[in-house]
Amino acid sequence: MKQLISLLLISLISYTSTLAQDSKVYDIEETATNFLQKKYILAAVHPYYNYSTSYAYINRMRYENTFGEPLDDIKGTWRNFVPEVTMMSNPMENLDAFEYDIRSAMMMGIDGFKFEYRVYSAKAYKKNFAKVLSSYISVAEQKNIDFKFSIEVIMTRPLKYSSDNLFSDIKKDLNHLFQETKFSKKWMRTGNDKIIVFTKDPHHGIDEGINKKFLKEVRNNPAIIGQLGDKFDQLKEDLFAPVAFVYQISNIDNKISTPLILEHFAAVTTSRNTVRRKKNVQQLRALCKKHNREYIPTVFLEQQHTQLFSVEENKRLTENSEFAKSIPNKDTQFKASNHKQTSTFRRLMEDNITDDVHLINLSSWNLFDEGSHFAPEIHHSYGLGVLLNFYKNKWVGKTEQIDEEMIMTSYKNVLPGELNSNDNIKVNLLNRFYKKEALDSLEVLTLLKEEGSLYFNGKFIQNVPKGLHTTYVPLKQGNVEVQVKREGIQSLSFKSPKSVTGMNDRVDFTTYMLSNLDEKYSMMNHNLILNAEMSKMQNRFLLSQSKQELWKAAARERFSSDLEAIYEYGAIPEKFKTIKEKNYKKYKSSIKSLLDNFQYSVWLELEEKAKNNKGIEKLLMEEDETLKGYNMLDVLDFK
């Protein structure tokens, strides 16, 4: 009898233990099975590249400090981007700026923002981050905007910052963010209501993960991954809200670590530097499906960072450091990959549609320093949003996939044989995707509802089918004009505002992706700003509706003239600034005609104050110099 009771007790204990284990596995699997109830495109966001008065790094966005920066002032970084919003308006009131960002992203086909958050950072950074994120979410709630939010916890750390301190800070910071946002339903959540939190460099959660030989250690001792998983499991228990962590796998061809990772995490994603290994990505997709885990793909346009390195030693130049100041521009370089215009982006989107994924991780909304942004900028304009929406329609199964017909041209302003021929900053071209010769072509992408005949600079090229089609023509100096004719009659036409001039002293290697729909969508985007501005001006100056329309027309004319000038003279700062100032004087004259003298003096004072707003002077991110640079690891991985 005693033996029977003992056997029953052992069986009961074994059953209870198994049930507990199954419960834990079931919880993860349930999250994966119902990971999302609809399909989303989520874009990575820099918290300080909005255009607000209080929380923007404005000096890193304006022409004078980017593409127009004096060559002698370039010390460690070369920013050739100019966000379009900086030409449309002065910095906006905080909530207006955040609403603009959200609605502009939605126009481009994006359903949510993923804010990058560095755990190892200063208190000022964390305080501002919490304010920015909670304000974005608050705007979406108050305006009833169907938009979601997530964060990517960047776990990069120096050895002196212990693993226990890292997880303690993650717990404290996440709980604070959840409370600050009042556990909003605007957080992107799984089908069973868990808040989705992405991770970057999650292997830094254990001391072995900081070691460069980490993967070798995992092969010798696979239990290391279990230790890391246990830390995340404990973290989930300590959080005030249920969370599903997404693990960023840095080595997708590791056959030992990946299955172990999938035991602890409901979903995995990859960095953009790993997706070039198509075969390994396919194996990862299959492995996730086998383990009933969600694979979240990363999609991007280009890879070109603003970070400079020394040519001789390939040493990273910390911005404004003595070392950076000591090296002439001709002995510096930045790193870029050749993606043959939109080819890589299109291939990645097609792969994800074929695999019918639930969530697409767009590598950048406004991470301008990485060169893969979708936020409208003088190089990357609104055609990218039209293209993204085309793929989105296809992905979600819409019958009509093409909303509007489009011609988009993509090319670098670098003529064949010109690369690194000037006596200035060099381009270290990494041919991971296409050969260098792909630079010597210009891509013409068409989205057509009916077939047509394609003409380039007046010359017949070929007949193009309905749907999406790309054609490549030799890249030559001169204008870029495209027409689509049907039965000999022009149906669609586009003359690019940016002619091919070739390189000068200002290295301009970012691909120009411009379309016939840019003007239309640019006006729609500008109206988001002008409507908010007119509401305030009407309250301040009691403007009639007709005067408001005249004011908006003057603002549009100024912006349009500045945009035209930057495409023609942006590489000649003094020339462009002269034209820009002339346009500004004309704009002020127009406003003066709408106001009395006293009102105009008040407006002028407000205008000058807004123009001189420099926003956040420093990012105040690092506790010390150990991790100097916002996306340092992206740069280092980009070798």
Which domain-ending residue is among 374, 394, 415? 374
Choose one of 354, 374, 394: the last residue of a domain.
374
Angstrom distance (rounded) from CA 101 to CA 96 = 9
Single pTM value for the model: 0.92
Place of tokens 């043959």: 340
Query: Comparing C-alpha atoms, which of 305, 304, 308 is closest to residue 324?
Result: 308
Q: Evaluate whether residue 342 is within a structural domain.
A: yes
- At 508 the pLDDT is 94
Q: How far is the C-alpha of 622 from the C-alpha of 16, rounded, in Å? A: 47
Please state the φ and ψ torsions of residue 529, each to the nearest 5 degrees: -75, -50
Q: Is 626 within a domain?
A: no
What CA–CA distance (Å, rounded) separates 162 from 442? 50
Model pLDDT, residue 274: 74
Residue 628 lies in a domain: no
Residue 390 maps to a domain: no
DSSP 414-454: --TT-TT-SSS-EEEEE-SSS-GGGGGEEEEEEEESS-EEE
**505 belongs to a structural domain:** no
As a whole number of angstroms, the distance between CA 222 and CA 18 comes to: 23
Contacts of 518 (CB under 8 A, 6+ apart): 381, 382, 383
| Domain end call among 313, 348, 374 | 374
Distance CA 626, CA 522 (A): 41
Cα→Cα distances 333→12, 121, 139, 315, Å: 67, 28, 41, 10
CATH code assigned at 223: 3.20.20
Taking alpha carbons only, the member of 277, 442, 292 closest to residue 351 is 277
The Cα 375–Cα 363 span in angstroms is 12
Residue 317, domain extent: 41-98+112-374
Number of domains in the chain: 2
Angle subtended by helix axes 573-592 and 597-611, to nearest 10: 150
* Identity at 253, one-letter amino acid code: D
Average pLDDT of each block of 10 consecutive residues along the chain (639 residues)?
45 38 49 83 96 94 96 94 97 97 98 98 95 98 98 96 97 99 98 95 93 81 91 97 94 76 92 74 88 93 91 93 94 90 94 94 95 97 98 95 97 93 88 74 98 98 98 97 97 98 91 98 98 94 96 98 98 97 98 98 96 80 43 35
Q: Is residue 309 part of a domain?
A: yes
Output the six-digit token pair for 61.
């966005």
Answer whether residue 137 is part of any domain. Answer: yes
Q: Which two tokens stand for residue 292?
A: 């009933």
Q: Can you tell me whether residue 638 is helix, strand or coil? A: coil
Identify residue 550 by its one-letter amino acid code: L
For position 439, what pLDDT does the model report? 83
> Is there a domain that residue 178 lies in?
yes
- DSSP SS3 for 80: coil
8 A C-beta contact, residue 450 and residue 486: yes
